[in-house]
Amino acid sequence: MTTSTLNFPPGPPQINNMLEALLLGFKYQRDMLGTISEQFRIYGDTYAIRFKKGVQIVLSNPDHIHQVLVTDAHKYHKGPDYSNPNIGLTFFLGNGLLTNEGEFWKRQRRLIQPAFHARRIEAYADTMVAYAQQTMAGWRDGMAVEVDDAMMNLALNIVAKTLFSSDVSGDAERIGSAMTVLQHMAADIQLIPHWVPTPARFRRQRALRDLDAIVYRLIAEWRESGDDRGDLLSMLLLARDDDGEGMTDKQVRDEAVTIMLAGHETTANAMNWTWVLLAQNPDVEAKLHDELDRVLGDRPPTLENLKRLPYTDMVVKESMRLYPPAYGFSRWAIEDTQIGNYDVPKGSVVGVSTYATHHDPRWWDAPERFLPERFSEESEKQLPRYAYLPFGGGPRVCIGNSFAMMEARLLLATMAQRYRLRLAPGQIVGTDPLITLRPKGGLRMTVEDRKPTMRGGIPDRVVVGTV
Ligand code: HEM
């Protein structure tokens, strides 16, 4: 395609040199969500950033998003950075499910999928509840809690226990800091070549060594016993291709790190924002408490009674609408193509702004308000296709979406049944959009005991058995 004759979406003036590109990069880095929203306000629901060579197209129109993720999925890869092991996500995740492509991705997805079948994840419900109870065991009325740390540890322990039959509570701090290093690395503008030693690069190397040590330890422990524990790690280690070949330890490591990291940070942030929104919206919180008290009383939630908690489900969904943990992601055109009537030359990066779609007043009345009723069975049916996509869509849709939804509902039910979390008067929680949407500067909240007389369901120390 010769760019002069092409039909691109509207957008700001073309970027002509390195300085302009850097300034633009810094503008997005300083206020990612604000800048994207501003561009959509000016140019409509699809805009293009044009460079001398190439174009980036940013989407918030559900039809366009559907075309890229579903109808034309085969015309895109995830992105050029995903095949470069020195930068971005690939530096940490290697060649795992989130980053690889083509036939190899298909094979790995087929192999990993059974670990996420409904029957199997349902067996994890009790473990999820038990870990939520363990998290609350040290909480007392009036206590200040670093909620973001608590949610991150909780979600990490759940992934490790359910999918790897392992206890990583002793490693949580190292995995947490590796996660923060990764998030900044992927979101930072890379000005210096990757081989130049800088303090940030030493931090990355250390974080990578930490992650490797933890995951290779899990693999070695498994090999020592050699048992099929029926978990994801066993599946990875026992898998054989048509020639009877198993995966190398490096490939198992890449898949395990991917699932461990992708599977806890996102859910933890969904929980963080849910607590913030409940504290800011006492009317919604009261309805949630009413449902939990009516259906559960003082009994802990189970897989069975979860079905009778529709409002809890609606609260989680609405929280992920306002603050989608994966607030945006991208694709890379591997051939000349079109989106709607717009041209997309091979090599173009196409961004999907889940955040903008979730805040578009055409699909959402009073989009900034926290209204879980939007997700009542009736209202949900009226939503345009792909106006709500917290888990993405098409063949690369989140493999853990049912796992995450079940987990978020169970954690919310278990914890809100007993405690209310309060923000300090006037406390404003800003957003920190890195790879996921984190609360800026952490999330300190005060615990309020809703049921001081309730014991039974929440022992001081919970022994979490194997699933
Ligand atoms: C609220 C929680 C979660 C959210 C919002 C979320 C969101 C997403 C999104 C939007 C994608 C697609 C990205 C793209 O198309 O480029 C994705 C992919 C993925 N997610 Fe999740 N996720 C969550 C939980 C989980 C969990 C619990 C796991 C595993 C235990 C997981 C593992 C993955 C993996 C491996 C992929 C890549 C799948 C592939 O490309 O085949 N996620 N996630």
Kindly give the number of the ligand 1 atom that is closest to the alpha carbon of 407: 27
69 within some domain:
yes
171 within some domain:
yes
Place of tokens 């009036």: 142
Distance 457 CA to ligand 1 centre (A): 31
Kindly give the number of the ligand 1 atom that is closest to the alpha carbon of 109: 41
Radius of gyration of the chain (CA): 23
| Domain at 81, CATH number | 1.10.630.10
Rounded CA gap, 114 and 234, in Å?
12
369 within some domain:
yes
* Residue-level pLDDT at 447: 97
Instruction: Name the residue at shortest CA distance from atom 27 of ligand 1.
Output: 263
462 within some domain:
no
457 within some domain:
no
Q: Would you say the CB of residue 394 lies under 6 angstroms from ligand 1?
A: no
Distance 132 CA to ligand 1 centre (A): 22
Structural domain for 228, as ranges: 3-449
DSSP for 71-134 reads: ITGGGEES-GGGG-TTSHHHHHH-SSTTT--HHHHHHHHHHHGGGGSHHHHHTTHHHHHHHHHH
79 within some domain:
yes
pLDDT in tens, the chain (467 residues): 666 689 999 999 999 998 998 898 888 888 999 999 999 999 999 999 999 989 999 999 999 999 999 999 999 999 776 766 766 778 888 999 999 999 999 999 998 998 899 988 999 999 999 999 999 999 999 999 999 999 999 999 999 999 988 888 888 888 888 878 877 766 655 555 556 566 667 788 888 888 899 899 989 988 888 888 888 899 899 888 778 888 899 999 999 999 988 999 999 999 999 999 999 999 999 999 999 999 999 999 999 999 999 999 999 999 999 999 999 999 999 999 999 999 999 999 999 999 999 999 999 999 999 999 999 999 999 999 999 999 999 999 999 999 999 999 999 999 999 999 999 988 999 999 988 999 999 999 999 999 877 754 444 444 444 33
- 354's tokens: 């889940």
Kindly give the number of the ligand 1 atom that is closest to the alpha carbon of 394: 15
* Residue-level pLDDT at 14: 93
Rounded CA gap, 253 and 255, in Å?
6
* Residue-level pLDDT at 460: 42
14 within some domain:
yes
256 within some domain:
yes
* Nearest partner of 300 among 125, 121, 151, judged by Cα: 125
* Nearest partner of 278 among 126, 433, 429, judged by Cα: 429
Q: Would you say the CB of residue 323 lies under 6 angstroms from ligand 1?
A: no
* Residue-level pLDDT at 125: 95
Q: What total number of domains does the chain contain?
A: 1
The best mutation among 104, 350, 358, 398 to test binding of ligand 1, ranked by most ligand atoms within 8 Å of the C-beta, falls on 398
Residue 236: other Cβ atoms inside 10 A: 25
